[in-house]
């Protein structure tokens, strides 16, 4: 049996403040820490031994992973961090209050920015404080690869090549993996694993701190079953 567990980070400080976050590095709230620990406890109850874990460059996902591994008593496993698992970059919306942005631009425009597949938010230039070229954690990365804003389509174009080249070979080799990431980077993985259409994928959401346990056919990415471990907080999943 090949298992892939996906976990969205717990509530962040800017989730709590209803602000667009994206690549801005904010920490977990107390609620987010509790969600991460509950996710770890739910995974521990499954008696799964993970071979490795993957996460992004952002603190909220990294800490969620740490807390889960602590509850799993599996802090020893390899942890691979990669910027390509980061959240969607919200460009010029980064840091803005979502309701104030709706009041200014209208509900329809904000909905398009947030939930359309291929319409990016207003982009920021390389001199903007929220452009990753100005963040030291990305100093070893070609600035041409770093986004100033992303649609879901562009997020997919960043996440999926990494998943296919680096993570898929581990899965097909029979490794059991845990990925701690973000709403939109995990949405990209759902699209790929469940073959969801461009039109339908914006409608699927991974809840915070609720692990999604996916059983795959050995030697492939064919999904045999999938379920959220916290049934009370589960969201609809794409059909198999």
Q: No. of H helices and E strands in the chain?
A: 8, 6
DSSP 202: G
Q: What is the pLDDT of residue 55?
A: 98
Q: Please check whether residue 127 lies inside any domain of the structure.
A: yes
Instruction: Decide if pLDDT at 204 tops 90.
Output: yes
The pLDDT tens digits of the residues spanning 149-183 come to: 999 999 999 999 999 999 999 999 999 999 999 99
- pLDDT value, residue 152: 96
Mean pLDDT in the chain? 96
**How confident is the model over 11-16, as a mean pLDDT?**
96
Residue 57 maps to a domain? no
Please check whether residue 29 lies inside any domain of the structure. Answer: yes
Residue 85 lies in a domain: yes
In the chain, pLDDT over 90 holds for what percent of residues? Answer: 98
Residue 84 located in a structural domain = yes
Distance CA 46, CA 229 (A): 9
Number of domains in the chain: 1
pLDDT band at 219 (very low <50, low <70, confident <90, very high): very high
Instruction: List the domain range (segments joined by +) for residue 173.
Output: 10-47+70-233
Say which range, 48-52, 88-92, 112-116, 147-151, has the weakest mean pLDDT: 112-116
Q: Is the pLDDT of residue 40 over 90?
A: yes
With 90 as the cut, is the pLDDT of residue 65 above it?
yes
pLDDT at 127 over 90: yes
Type and span of the H or E element at 191:
helix 183-194
Residue 44: its pLDDT value, please?
96
Q: What is the CATH number of the domain that holds 129?
A: 3.40.50.1240
Q: Assess contact for 94 and 123: CB atoms under 8 A.
A: no
Residue 1 lies in a domain: no
Residue 173 lies in a domain: yes
Summarize the confidence of residues 193-210 as an average pLDDT.
95
Position 20 scores a pLDDT of 96
Per-residue model confidence (pLDDT) at position 1: 80
Q: Which residues are catalytic?
A: 9, 87
Percent of the chain with pLDDT over 70: 100
Task: Report yes or no on 5 lying in a domain.
Answer: no
Beta-bridge partner residues of 223: 216
Mean pLDDT of 8-21: 96
**Is residue 115 over pLDDT 90?**
no
- How far apart CA 57 and CA 133 sit, in angstroms, is 14
Give the CA distances from residue 49 to residues 54, 56, 62, 99, 195, in Å, rounded to whole numbers and listed in that order. 15, 21, 19, 42, 27
What gap in Å lies between CA 149 and CA 128, rounded to an integer?
11
């Amino acid at each position: 049996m090949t298992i892939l567990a996906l976990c969205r980070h717990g509530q962040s400080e800017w989730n709590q403040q209803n602000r667009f976050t994206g690549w801005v590095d904010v920490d977990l709230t107390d609620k987010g820490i509790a969600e991460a620990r509950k996710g770890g406890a739910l995974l521990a109850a499954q008696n799964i031994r993970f071979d490795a874990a993957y996460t992004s460059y952002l603190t909220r996902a990294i800490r969620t992973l740490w807390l889960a591994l602590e509850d799993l008593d599996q802090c020893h496993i390899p942890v691979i961090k990669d910027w390509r698992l980061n959240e969607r970059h919200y460009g010029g919306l980064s840091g803005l209050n979502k309701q104030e942005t709706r009041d200014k631009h209208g509900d329809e425009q904000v909905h398009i920015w947030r939930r359309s597949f291929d319409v990016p938010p207003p982009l920021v230039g390389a001199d903007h404080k929220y452009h990753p070229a100005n963040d030291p954690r990305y100093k070893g990365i070609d600035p041409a690869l770093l986004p100033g804003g992303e649609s879901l389509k562009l997020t997919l174009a960043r996440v999926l090549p990494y998943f296919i080249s680096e993570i898929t070979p581990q899965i097909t080799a029979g490794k059991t993996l845990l990925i701690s990431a973000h709403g939109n980077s995990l949405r990209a993985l759902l699209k790929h694993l469940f073959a969801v259409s461009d039109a339908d994928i914006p409608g699927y959401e991974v809840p915070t701190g609720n692990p999604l346990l996916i059983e795959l056919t050995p030697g492939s990415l064919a999904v045999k079953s999938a379920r959220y471990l916290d049934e009370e907080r589960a969201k609809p999943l794409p059909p198999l």
